[in-house]
Structure 1
Amino acid sequence: MAQSIKVEIKRQSNPNSPATTEKFEVPYRSGMNITSLLGEIALNPVDVSGKQTTPITYDSNCLEEICGSCAMLINGKARMACSALVDKLRGPNNDQPITLAPLSKFPVVRDLAVDRSVLFENLKRVKAWVPIDGSYDLGAGPRQAPQIQEQRYPLSNCISCTICMEVCPQFNDVTNFVGAATIAQVKLFNIDPSGSVLKEDRLRALAGDGGIQECSFAQNCVQACPKELPLTEAISDMGRDVFIQQVKDLFTR
């Protein structure tokens, strides 16, 4: 008998409909990841009872852990579907079902797809960009010292997957905490020679409602980050800089 993979998927046809769980069995192939597993279901969307259903809706793009779009709960853990291997998810006897669910802290769009626009609103709030629009020739930019490049490179690897926000106990509707990814991007652009022109604006934004003071330093983010960003280090550094900026503002008003 051919080996099969048991999958249980939490589904929701629209943001207001009740959630249900559908079970599938998919033919096993060596080296499958969760994305390819969902692709197999799309080829033959029939559940274990033989009932015809619809393909699973989920976000995906690069298939190589760069775009950050395929984050979901896999066996209850926030992970990237493209890098989660089936062989490591089926238990020691390869008989445990794999469970898939949408990230729990973001509004569901459909099935495993969620609305993560809050991250991008937070990035706009802290002006996480270099303020050069490229519409005219500014000449050569300031040089970056190798020490600055070494600090910035790990932070530049953020893929906006929002896993750090999903696992953070402080990221919720009560605190409106901006999350570790946003704070790390503030550090990334504040230590950029061109981006530092907006440094004070970014620090003042982090001092506001839902800012860095909401962080409880649980460190879940740094443990869960698929790109191993130095998130807790960034939070500590920005906490110091926010405090210094507040003192400066206190005595210059």
Structure 2
Amino acid sequence: MPSTIKVEIKRQANPDAPAVTEKFEIPHRPGMNITSLLGEIALNPVDITGKATTPVTYDSNCLEEICGSCAMLINGKARMACSALVDKLMGSDMAQPITLAPLSKFPVVRDLAVDRSVLFENLKKVKAWVPIDGTYDLGAGPRQFPQVQEQRYPLSNCISCCCCMEVCPQFNDVTNFVGAATIAQAKLFNMDPSGAVLSEDRLRALAGDGGIQECGFAQNCVQACPKELPLTEAISDMGRDVFIQQVKDIFTR
């Protein structure tokens, strides 16, 4: 096993500052992940030349691939820092430097931290929630068939990491595509007995600017999703439902 880990990090002091690459060499320990590597840098923020620098800024919370906040580009791929193991990233000769960079399709806040609020704006656009007033007891909710529960459960595992949006060739400023995560959440709530009351609103939102018609079905999203959500299936199903809703709207005007 190597005695040290070489890591190259793309850094940016603020949104308007130029990007620079800093190189570090960190003592190796078995079983390290990227978040523990960044923690080692924070304990001793000195680059490979011995120059003092600052701890690297990045988002994290749960450290067990549940919150989705620590997504970044690791060796050029959108991944979760908490589940990316250093020993698997260093190559077969265990000498390859590890490269870290912020997600490229979101505004940089500082270093590896980016502003992913576009996802939450898109979720609001499709009303990705169950519209129930929680100020008083409504009693037991409607029952769901086990078959429906099995379909909904994988979609409920979305952690809002935005990896699917990062790798999507259609997610950009030109198309304003809402992305696979938003479409999958629209399907999740349309299948909910209580959430279905807003199903037509969701389908009309997905028929609008940046909606489901922008998807090129590259299928990068399903490959990048750390929770293995059935994203392409959700996009296909919602594309059908959006078309049916548009036909209904034509004949009910």
| TM value normalised by structure 1 | 0.99
Please list, as runs of the form range in 1=range in 2, the aligned pairs for 1:96-175 lying within 5 A after superposition.
96-175=96-175
Taking a change above 3 Å as real, the CA distance of residues 52 and 110 of structure 1, as seen in their structure-2 partners, is: same
Structure 1 Cα separation of the partners of residues 83 and 231 of structure 2: 21
CA deviation after TM superposition for structure 1 residue 2, in Å: 7.2
Alpha-carbon distance in structure 2 between the residues aligned to 1:68 and 1:139: 33
| Structure-1 separation of matches of 2:28 and 2:42 | 15
Offset, 1:237: 0.1
Equivalent position of 1:33 in the other structure = 33
One-letter amino acid of the counterpart of residue 29, structure 1: R
Secondary structure of the structure 1 residue equivalent to 2:184 = helix
Give the match for residue 54 of structure 2. Answer: 54
Q: Aligned-pair distance for 1:138?
A: 1.4
What runs of 5+ residues in structure 1 fail to find an aligned partner?
Answer: none
Task: Give the counterpart letter for 1:22 in structure 2.
Answer: E
Deviation digits for residues 43-78 of structure 1 (CA, Å, limit 9, x no counterpart): 000000000000000000000000000000000000
Q: Equivalent residue for 1:95?
A: 95
Letter of the 2:217 counterpart: F
Equivalent position of 1:184 in the other structure: 184
Query: Is residue 2:72 matched to residue 1:72?
Result: yes
Q: Deviations over 1:117-164 (max 9, x none)?
A: 000000000000000131112121110110110000000000000000
Give secondary structure in 1 for the equivalent of 2:109.
Answer: strand
Tell me which amino acid in the other structure corresponds to 2:196. S
- Give SS of 1:9's match: strand
Question: Does structure 1 conserve the Cα–Cα contact (< 8 Å) formed by 2:163 and 2:225?
Answer: yes
Change (3 A) 1:113 1:195: same
Structure 2 residue runs of 5 or longer lacking an equivalent are: none
- The residue identity in structure 1 corresponding to 2:67 is C
CA shift digits 1:7-38 (9 cap, x unpaired):
00000000000000000000000000000000
Q: How many residue pairs were aligned?
A: 253
Q: Distance in 1 between matches of 2:46 and 2:143?
A: 58
Q: Is the 8 A contact 2:170 2:216 kept in 1?
A: yes
The alignment's TM-score, normalised by the length of structure 2, stands at 0.99
- Paired with 1:232 and 1:14, the residues of 2 have a C-alpha distance of 36
| Distance in structure 1 (CA, Å) of the matches to 2:135 and 2:151 | 29
Q: Which residue of 2 aligns with 1:12?
A: 12
2:250 & 2:210 partners in 1: Cα distance?
Answer: 20
Partner of 2:223: 223
1:251 aligns with 2:241: no
Residues in 2 aligned to 1:216 and 1:2: alpha-carbon distance in whole angstroms: 43
Identity across the alignment (%): 88
State how far apart, in whole Å, the 1-side matches of 2:133 and 2:48 are.
54
